[in-house]
Structure 1
Amino acid sequence: MVAAPALGQREPLAPPAASDAPIAYLYDVTSGQVLFAREANRRFMPASITKVMTTFLAFEWMEEGRIVPQQTYTPRLETWRRWKNVGSTMFLPHDAQVSFDDLLHGVTTVSANDGAAALAEGAAGSVEEWVAAMNAKASEIGMADSHFGTPNGWMDEGRTFTTASDLSTLATAMLRRHPSKYRHYVGRPEFTYNEITQPNHDPISGVVRGADGIKTGFTNQAGYGFLGAAERNGRRLVMVVAGSPRARDRNRAARELIEWGFAAFDQRRLFPPNARVAKAEVQGGSRTQVPLVAPYGIYADIPAGGNGDVRLSVSYEGPVQAPISQGEEIAELVVSVEGMPDYRVPLVAGQDVGEAGLVRRALNGVLGWFS
């Protein structure tokens, strides 16, 4: 039997109960560690969390110059009719001349189904082309068990599905590739369009210290879900809860999971960003070794109160064949923290290594006899 806390004491922090969040996942973007996982690879319908994929693709296309935020667009009449007042909306008029900036704010802040469809059509020429690009981008970043059938997550007979693990991959890519766009578009408390102001229903932003997004989701089929993020003292956590029976259950689970994540672990920096961590042997190159760099640094989350025993080992298939480009991923650092699952951090080449010339190849051959 567990004793009740003394009067005035708070209950100790704990991950959310399965009854509140059948699917729950907590990932430390800074270290690369999974801190909590329940049904992490179970497929589920993300509902409006789908719009995070639309947001990420929009960020990517902005970076490429394929979307200009100030550019205006008028939805086709049939598109406007299809999404007029369907679920969450930004109330686009039938003759709207709306900027992509407003459309994307409508998507990220008030979960606008009409805004997501209009953005998709305006950017790609058709919703179908946009959805194809969503799936291609998901595959590119490693979302191995996800598929999208719409730009907004509206019910589509199960064609749209994802996993908690894949959603953390998506959030990590968004945060690392597009930090300034993330700050501009995600986590706003409200959005006003066409003189209509609507609130953001994010359950942690403004409530949990350091929280700044990302996206809720709900349909009768999917239940209540949330993909969220928060940062404290340079430490960035991403969390997923899904399948909650009620909004209040989801909201409670989200807050409990993120607060527990910050409280239950102490983070240690092992190497700063861009530090040279090790070397890899090179075959057929102008150099016999290449330095291995950790672009985002190496960090370890240690269970609070633990002894902090950490072991490191480098894993790669070697020797690595030249030529090698600086920044090319060629190895992984395996980090072992006592009492936790091992995790891997990518290591990239710290410099270019060209192919060896005739003299260098001969010298390498001679050196090989003595190695």
Structure 2
Amino acid sequence: MARLVAALAGLFLVFGGLAAAQEPVFQTSASHAVIMDYETGEILFSKNGDVPMPPSSMSKLMTALMVFEALEAGTLSLDDELPVSVRAWREGGAASGGSTMFLEVNSRARVDDLLRGIIVQSGNDACIVVAEAIGGSEEAFADMMTRRARELGLETANFRNSTGLTAEGHEISAEDLARLAAHIIRNHPDFYRLYSETTFTYNGIRQANRNPLLGAFDGADGLKTGYTSEAGYGLTSSAVRGGERRIVVFNGTQSMRERANEAERLMRAAFSDFVMVDLAAAGAEIGSADIYMGTSRSVALRTTDPVRAAMHRRERDRMRAEIVYEGPLVAPVAAGDEVARLVITMPDGRTREYPLEAAEDVARQGMVSRAMSALVNLVAG
């Protein structure tokens, strides 16, 4: 048995033939970037998107999710008042130099306010308060964050604290941040509305949401900025236009201005330049595979699922599509047997595979025919 590549039927014309891997037609100055289609979860664009990175305050998406789930489980309520410890005040307060909600030491704060402090004001102090309340300590809460992230399939997630402040091993990929954002949007719509609030006032201090897309890009409604000197300026964002939602995550820009400019450029491209293309319906016959010792020399192959590809509009003719299988297949083959894969390779090297099944039964040859087939193969080498 050998790995064989078969020609495609109808899809071959769609792809325009086999092309060598090329540089993507879209670029970004960010060190890590992802554009994701919310409905399908397809990655439309990725630059180091699967590479773990320090997420800075974008970590607070996971912190907030832990609070959402505690509220829905009934272990917290929005009216609960949580104590502000010395550690929360010292490490997350104004004296620390980071983002803060301006909580006062030894005071108590309502969970409702703490959530807005985390989401709108990016308050490190608010994060530590909820971490200590839910986990007993910030370290234990960070372990809970990591375990929950892994349960959600976010395999690159490793959290060392609740705030996103620089810590060795504290990391997650842009793709997993996009998946986390999609999870929040889909499963916690009532809390997700908080991400579109543009200001929040606490302790007499009014602070603005740092998301540069809110109010500047039509349809933008979340989520979270981030910055540390190690990570640079980043953003996890989402917007809806024409009934479609896109999620954009990037990190590693060099200033707030560059972050704002790149945020708008990436989100605009997410809707105008990148598309989901339907290539084949489920059950479509797209090629064939060779058969050994069968009553037929080949069997038609059909898709089991709809075949969709995410791409830049100008990349459609630059993809590579192949039918790959270990063959020739040995008869008998039954209709519905999964016998091959459709492999789509994008110009930037990303691949997507779809299972292919036999479209018909192919019986095994009789004894005499099998002997003749074996002799023919022996002679042919």
TM-score normalized by the length of structure 1: 0.69
Match of 2:208 in 1: 199
In the alignment, does 2:187 pair up with 1:177? yes
Partner secondary structure for residue 218 of structure 2: coil
Contact 1:31–1:298, Cα closer than 8 Å, also in 2: no
Aligned counterparts of 2:256 and 2:129: Cα–Cα separation in 1: 28
CA apart distance, 1:301: 5.6
Runs (4+) of structure 1 exceeding 6 A deviation are 297-300, 333-342
Aligned residue runs from structure 1 range 296-307, under 5 A: 304=313
- The equivalent of 2:170 in structure 1 is 160
* Cα gap change, 1:302 to 1:204, in 2 (>3 Å): same
Q: Separation in 2 of the partners of 1:110 and 1:16? A: 31
> Are the counterparts in 2 of residues 15 and 257 from structure 1 also a CA contact under 8 Å?
no
* Separation in structure 1 between the aligned mates of residue 32 and residue 150 of structure 2, nearest angstrom: 22
Aligned twin of 1:37: 46
Deviation per CA, 1:18-71: give whole Å up to 9, x if none: 3xx121110001122211111112221111111111011111222211221111
Aligned partner of 2:137 in structure 1 is 126
Counterpart Cα distance in 1 of 2:38 and 2:197: 22
Q: Indicate the SS of the match to 1:186.
A: helix
Is residue 2:82 matched to residue 1:104? no
CA distance in 2, matches of 1:150, 1:338: 37
**Does the residue aligned with 1:110 lie in a helix, a strand or coil?**
coil
State the identity %. 31
Report how far residue 82 of structure 1 moved: 3.2
Task: Give, in whole Å, the separation in 1 of the partners of 2:73 and 2:243.
Answer: 28
For 1:338 and 1:244, how far apart are their aligned partners in 2?
26
Measure the CA separation in 2 of the matches of 1:337 and 1:178: 35
User: Structure 1 residue 46 and structure 2 residue 46: aligned?
Assistant: no
- Corresponding residue for 1:116? 127
What is the CA–CA distance in structure 2 between the aligned matches of 1:30 and 1:109, rounded to whole Å?
A: 26
The answer to whether the Cα contact below 8 Å between 1:28 and 1:237 also exists between their aligned partners in 2 is yes
CA offsets, 1:212-253, max 9 Å, x none? 111111111111111111111221111111111122112211
Match of 1:83 in 2: 92
**TM-score computed with the length of structure 2 as normaliser:** 0.67
Cα 1:338/1:243, change in 2 over 3 Å = closer
Matches within 5 A, 1:1-371: 15=26, 17-18=28-29, 21-85=30-94, 86=96, 87-156=98-167, 158-183=168-193, 185-266=194-275, 304=313
Q: Is the 8 A contact 1:32 1:343 kept in 2?
A: no
Q: Give the AA of the match of 2:182.
A: T
Structure number with bigger Rg: 2
CA contact 1:31–1:301 (8 Å) conserved in 2: no
Count residues in correspondence: 290
Q: 1:301 to 1:234 in 2, by over 3 A?
A: farther
SS of aligned partner of 2:269:
helix
Whether the 8 Å CA contact 1:191–1:198 is kept in 2: the answer is: yes
Counterpart-to-counterpart distance in 2, 1:88 and 1:237: 27
1:84-105 deviation digits (Å, cap 9, x = unpaired) = 2121111001232211111110
The root-mean-square deviation of aligned C-alpha atoms, in Å, is 3.4
Q: 2:124 and 2:216 mapped to 1: Cα distance?
A: 26
Residues 145 and 302 of structure 1, relative CA distance in 2, 3 Å threshold: closer
Q: 1:119 to 1:23 in 2, by over 3 A?
A: same
Question: Secondary structure of the equivalent of 2:196?
Answer: coil
CA contact (8 A) 1:110 1:199 kept: yes
What CA distance in whole angstroms lies between the structure 2 residues aligned with 1:337 and 1:210?
A: 32
Q: Secondary structure at the match of 1:26?
A: strand
Structure 2 vs 1, CA of residues 302 and 220 (structure 1 numbering), >3 Å: closer, same or farther? closer
1:190-228 Cα distance to aligned partner (Å, 9 max, x none): 111111110111011111111111111111111111111
Name the CA distance, whole Å, in 2 between partners of 1:233 and 1:224: 29
